[in-house]
Amino acid sequence: MMSIKETMLSIVALGGVNEIGKNMYVVQYADDIVVIDCGSKFPDESLLGIDVIVPDISFLLENQDKVRALVVTHGHEDHIGGIPYILKQMNMPIYATGLTLGLIEGKLREHGLLRDSELHHINSDSEIDLGSMTLSFFSTNHSIPDCLGIAFHTPEGTVVHTGDFKFDLTPVNEQYADIHKMADLGKNGVLALLSESTNAERPGFTPSERLVGEHIEEAFIKATQKIFISTFASNVHRLQQVIDAAVKTNRKIALLGRSMVNVVSIASSLGYLKMAEEMLIEATEVNKYEPHRIVVLCTGSQGEPMAALSRLASSNHRQVEVLRGDTVILAATPIPGNERNVARIVDNLFELGAKVIYGSGTVTGMHVSGHASQDELKLMLTLMKPKYFIPIHGEFRMMHQHRLLAEAVGVESDNIFILKNGDVVDIQNQVASQSRKIPTGNTLVDGLGIGDVGNVVLRDRKHLSEDGILIVVITLSKADGKILSGPDTISRGFVYVRESEGLIEEVNRITVTEVQKLLEENVSQWNVYKQSIKESIGRFLFAKTKRRPMILPIIIQI
Amino acid sequence: MMSIKETMLSIVALGGVNEIGKNMYVVQYADDIVVIDCGSKFPDESLLGIDVIVPDISFLLENQDKVRALVVTHGHEDHIGGIPYILKQMNMPIYATGLTLGLIEGKLREHGLLRDSELHHINSDSEIDLGSMTLSFFSTNHSIPDCLGIAFHTPEGTVVHTGDFKFDLTPVNEQYADIHKMADLGKNGVLALLSESTNAERPGFTPSERLVGEHIEEAFIKATQKIFISTFASNVHRLQQVIDAAVKTNRKIALLGRSMVNVVSIASSLGYLKMAEEMLIEATEVNKYEPHRIVVLCTGSQGEPMAALSRLASSNHRQVEVLRGDTVILAATPIPGNERNVARIVDNLFELGAKVIYGSGTVTGMHVSGHASQDELKLMLTLMKPKYFIPIHGEFRMMHQHRLLAEAVGVESDNIFILKNGDVVDIQNQVASQSRKIPTGNTLVDGLGIGDVGNVVLRDRKHLSEDGILIVVITLSKADGKILSGPDTISRGFVYVRESEGLIEEVNRITVTEVQKLLEENVSQWNVYKQSIKESIGRFLFAKTKRRPMILPIIIQI
């Protein structure tokens, strides 16, 4: 571990740059470390069998005595999803707003960690003293309520982390952003700004969530039968607008999907969702009402195969049915990678005779982004007037575009740092430099294992997935090398043995030939036998089938 | 097999409906069967290890004596990719235009099938007599030259198959569509129209390919160093426009990527691509020219990991390098599913300091679709005035939208048939009905195997890919059941054994316990031993790891 100078301010990305997901940043001054967010990310198709990815926190483990707090900006998975896995490795006090804490608590309860956690409820007016730093906060707009930006006031100067944000000047439920606080921070001097880059490729200004509300209301007025509407459960603002439209059109609401029920319950009890209790009905009661008196609010807008919408589309839901003439609204744009699953659902809904409102939110008006577009990013940069700028929360091209925006509003090109995970920006005497790197990366979670699946295992899974496995077992006498049993060949995922007896017979013959040849040559290392059987069978099978199954010779000596 | 009445006209989809890919349609009158197209499709992620999917042609195999011809509308993979695999099962005469035949010949040569194939060169003026039917043709516009629509003149009436089309009123290289022939067909009466539905969800009129040419030329004029431009090799029109822009800006062209070299060679030799020979240079010569005298035309616009663009972006190409200040143009919109790979390439190109023109073609102007949008589909329906309409070539929602367009221009709702693969529309005495179904589906190609990988093998591959395999081998004495060797446990893709010795020891212990218990109970069926070992180990591992590897007990008796 490298030591940090006592009066040095350091900013580290442990996760969240060059990727969308598993956000985790560190601000350190002298001996005080504050962690921002602890997200998770879903594995891509190359990480076979992996459930979720969280940041590698070796750096924090080595500096446990210095870690003062985990401060969480908001309650999305890419900001809170890693918390249970990290807390299993080390405990630390957690600071977050009400809704964010509510969602974190749910996770900790599931993992049996709630009792031992130290949770602190803060809001945008809070101030926290953490050793040499004081933290203050400002509210931002985003696709979930109760989001914070953070200002770290250190002896070296002020560092601002925006969290995820957009500027919604007409927000739902009066969740206004603290634009005056942001202006004050800028006026008083921001040494370094960390600002999110998700939409840095998009020109213009992201529309207000209100726009979606208007389109929902229009669609509700037009619909003559049941309405199904699917969106992200965590988008409480949008849920509120669905509720408002249901009230206006005199419809009851049924909730489908575990996370929808969960978020509505947390958000209502904490006051983030305003709804008369009698608005809600059980899924089992849907059929007791006239169709034009019903809204079903459900999960699955990203085409998740096990979620409510997918089951409805394939007529597989136990309690509720989509019938000819019903309206189905997908109030979400498919995230890249999910298009095919969403398309399959739309196909099925049309087959059922439903009227489906689907496609890009920009076209349907049924979705707006929760992230700032280029003009809003420039507005944030202009408000903060930072000396140094670090684009975060995005893939390389997004951070690159964000850099161009910063340059356009006057940030010095040399004062902009595009980081990779593990890169450190050190600031001393008001001068920033980037020369150090700390070890970090992906920690893979598979079942109960955190970080125990490595490259060898993944490479094997990939190999197995493509052409399967072929196991050849042969038993030899220790005394004279005579074959006592076998060779027996078993295949899984390669060919269905009954259909390929000739092939398997030839594999057995090759095995015997190889073994006898090596015995005659008095070769005694079994690894040589295994390698040679593997190669001969491999060559034979590739010539015959153009496939390369994993070949596993097992030699038993009695 | 159902017999077909002697004077009945039948239309069958063997592939291409409810999917994008593997197009194959059949028109049969009495004893004469004509096949239209023979495409392939790429497997989705659930079909592990499968290389390509082609139509199941059981119906044609059962009716070999009646199959008169395979007529191919154009040279895209989803129309010709299945030909080699089908010809291996049955031979038939193939009719296609020059460029299409050139591309088919390449495939047949690779598969060693060219010598035995019967290929007929046709053009849009050809007429073919095939038993009771006469076929005539009309040219269409599409993203590859030399495309045909087909009219089947039968005693029952005329059936028209559009092939893939758009209406490009200002086509490149004067590849005009035969709009007057289409009008004549309509005037003389079209009994049934089969029209493609790819863009039936898109409002408006697809822009002309010329638009892309204008944007390419602008970008070429602006660029001060090397230009890299990547697009679909088969889009010969676009290649022509790249060549034209290179001529105008006084740049030489180097080709990278096997299919680019291949298509340019075929298309030039057949006269579809007009280019002075001295325009082309070898990749090895690129560095001999000043950067502003070079265009590199390459494959990989869909982010294919092994293609030229991907290798350039990761500085992995042996002959050519992307340098700071070079321009890279992605002249293609990513096909759904390819976004992530394309994004990774853009990230890498920005890291290299390139200026990258990327994103949706609608925004960059660097791509237009080759398929008709809603207004063009309505134009085709209006020209043809069909009595019966069968939307083809699309997923369900596209065919559904195409149906709505047909209804809007006056086709009777009851006269529109949305088919599934295998569905048959029979027409007799000018009355169409859909009641029969013939067996069809996906034929999976894995290596040299056509159709030999079934559900069992795929299920095993899936299982293996998620949690790997654990093999337990134990050798027992035939005489007294004593353990002669083992148990030995081998795992692949589950855990890396060195890191989990305790776990493996416990697995071995469980195996011994199970075997001894069953021996004491005098159980003699080895299947019972295997099942019981499998279950006990499975329970233990799931409790310890929350993973479910495939467990394969091997019991050897000596």
Rounded Cα distance between B488 and B356, Å, is 56
Q: Looking at residue B409, what is its pLDDT?
A: 97
Rounded Cα distance between A238 and B22, Å, is 41
Q: List the beta bridge partners of residue B551.
A: B470
Rounded Cα distance between B411 and B413, Å, is 6
Instruction: Enumerate domains of chain B plus CATH numbers.
Output: 9-204+369-440 (3.60.15.10), 209-362 (3.40.50.10710), 455-557 (3.10.20.580)
Residues A502/A509, Cβ–Cβ less than 8 Å: no
Rounded Cα distance between B456 and B33, Å, is 35
- Min Cα distance B353 → chain A (Å) is 10
Q: How confident is the model at residue A1 (pLDDT cuts 50, 70, 90)?
A: very low
Most B-contacting residue of A17, A302, A403, A457 (CB-CB within 10 A), to test interface: A457
Residue B1 has pLDDT above 60, yes or no: no
Cα distances (angstroms) measured from residue A38 to each of A13, A88, A257: 11, 13, 25
- DSSP letters of A337-354? T-HHHHHHHHHHHHHTT-
Q: Which of A10-14, A482-486, B257-261, B272-276 has the lowest mean pLDDT?
A: A482-486
**Residue in A196, A209, A376, A514 annotated catalytic:** A196
Segment A417-436 mean pLDDT: 95
Which residue type occupies B442?
A: N
Pairing outcome for strands A157-161 and A192-196: parallel
Segment B190-202 mean pLDDT: 97
Chain B residues with CB under 8 Å of A469 CB are: 464, 469, 492
Residues B25/B59, Cβ–Cβ less than 8 Å: no
Chain B residues with CB under 8 Å of A447 CB are: 545-547
Q: Looking at residue B2, what is its pLDDT?
A: 46
Tell me if residue A84 falls in helix, strand or coil. helix
Q: List the beta bridge partners of residue A133.
A: A130
- Closest partner residue to A396 (CB to CB) among B48, B337, B351 is B351
Find out whether B502 is annotated in a ligand binding site.
no
Tell me if residue B473 falls in helix, strand or coil. strand
Which residue type occupies B312?
A: L
Rounded Cα distance between B73 and B102, Å, is 13
Q: Looking at residue B496, what is its pLDDT?
A: 62
Segment A434-455 mean pLDDT: 86
Q: Which residue of A has its CA nearest to B462?
A: A465
Selected residue with higher pLDDT from B5 and B119: B119
Residues B397/A346, Cβ–Cβ less than 8 Å: yes
Query: Using H for helix, E for strand and C for coil, what is the string for B71-134?
Result: ECCCCCHHHHCCHHHHHCCCCCCEEECHHHHHHHHHHHHHCCCHHHCCEEECCCCCEEEECCEE
**Angle, vertex CA A242, rays to CA A240 and CA A246, nearest 5:** 115
Interval A351-377: pLDDT, tens: 999 999 998 888 899 999 999 999 999
Among candidate residues B55, B58, B63, the one with its CA nearest the CA of residue B4: B63
Chain A residues with CB under 8 Å of B343 CB are: 336, 395, 397
Residue whose token pair is 């939208």: B401
Pairing outcome for strands B157-161 and B127-130: unpaired
Residues A103/A110, Cβ–Cβ less than 8 Å: no
Residue B3 has pLDDT above 80, yes or no: no
**Buried-state track A75-85, b at ≥16 Cβ within 10 A, e below 16:** bbbbbbbbbbb
Q: Please answer yes or no on whether B493 and A49 come within 8 Å at the CB atom.
A: yes
Cα distances (angstroms) measured from residue A33 to each of B217, B429, B447: 54, 84, 55
Residue A499 has pLDDT above 70, yes or no: no
- Residue A433: phi and psi, rounded to 5, are -145, 155
Find out whether A178 is annotated in a ligand binding site.
no
Share of chain A above pLDDT 70, in %: 98
Most A-contacting residue of B198, B461, B534 (CB-CB within 10 A), to test interface: B461
Q: Please answer yes or no on whether A547 and B493 come within 8 Å at the CB atom.
A: no
Which residue type occupies B184?
A: D
Tell me if residue B350 falls in helix, strand or coil. helix
Question: What dihedral do alpha carbons B494, B496, B499, B503 form, nearest 10°?
Answer: 40
Residue B497 has pLDDT above 80, yes or no: no
ipTM: 0.85
Rounded Cα distance between A145 and A172, Å, is 9
Q: Please answer yes or no on whether B554 and A471 come within 8 Å at the CB atom.
A: yes
Residues B248/B356, Cβ–Cβ less than 8 Å: no
Q: Please answer yes or no on whether B554 and A466 come within 8 Å at the CB atom.
A: no
Residues B236/B432, Cβ–Cβ less than 8 Å: no
Most B-contacting residue of A46, A358, A397, A420 (CB-CB within 10 A), to test interface: A397
Interval A46-83: pLDDT, tens: 888 888 999 999 999 999 999 999 999 999 999 999 99
Chain B residues with CB under 8 Å of A463 CB are: 493
Interval B214-231: pLDDT, tens: 999 999 999 999 999 999
Chain B residues with CB under 8 Å of A558 CB are: 475, 484-485, 558
Chain A residues with CB under 8 Å of B461 CB are: 464-466, 468, 493
Segment B525-542 mean pLDDT: 88
> Measured in whole angstroms, how far is the alpha carbon of residue A120 from the centre of its chain?
24
Among candidate residues B340, B381, B67, the one with its CA nearest the CA of residue B197: B381
Segment B413-420 mean pLDDT: 97
Q: Please answer yes or no on whether A485 and B359 come within 8 Å at the CB atom.
A: no
Q: Which residue of A has its CA nearest to B18?
A: A347
- Closest partner residue to B496 (CB to CB) among A348, A454, A554 is A454
What angle do the packed helices B396-408 and A339-351 form, to 10 degrees?
50
Find out whether A372 is annotated in a ligand binding site.
no
Active site residue A317: no
Selected residue with higher pLDDT from B516 and A34: A34
Segment B262-274 mean pLDDT: 94
| Mean per-residue pLDDT over chain A, rounded | 93
Rounded Cα distance between A100 and A74, Å, is 5
Residues A232/A142, Cβ–Cβ less than 8 Å: no
The upper half-sphere exposure of residue B360, i.e. CA atoms within 13 Å in the direction of its Cβ, equals 6
Q: Which of A133-137, A184-188, B122-126, B339-343 has the lowest mean pLDDT?
A: B339-343
Residues in contact with A195: Cβ distance below 8 Å, sequence separation at least 6, in sequence order: A162, A377, A380, A381, A384, A389, A390, A391, A392, A402
Q: How confident is the model at residue B55 (pLDDT cuts 50, 70, 90)?
A: very high
Residue B9 has pLDDT above 50, yes or no: yes
Rounded Cα distance between A231 and A300, Å, is 7
Give me the helices (H) in A134-269, please.
179-188, 209-222, 236-248, 258-269
Segment A323-337 mean pLDDT: 93
Interval B507-526: pLDDT, tens: 989 998 988 888 888 887 88
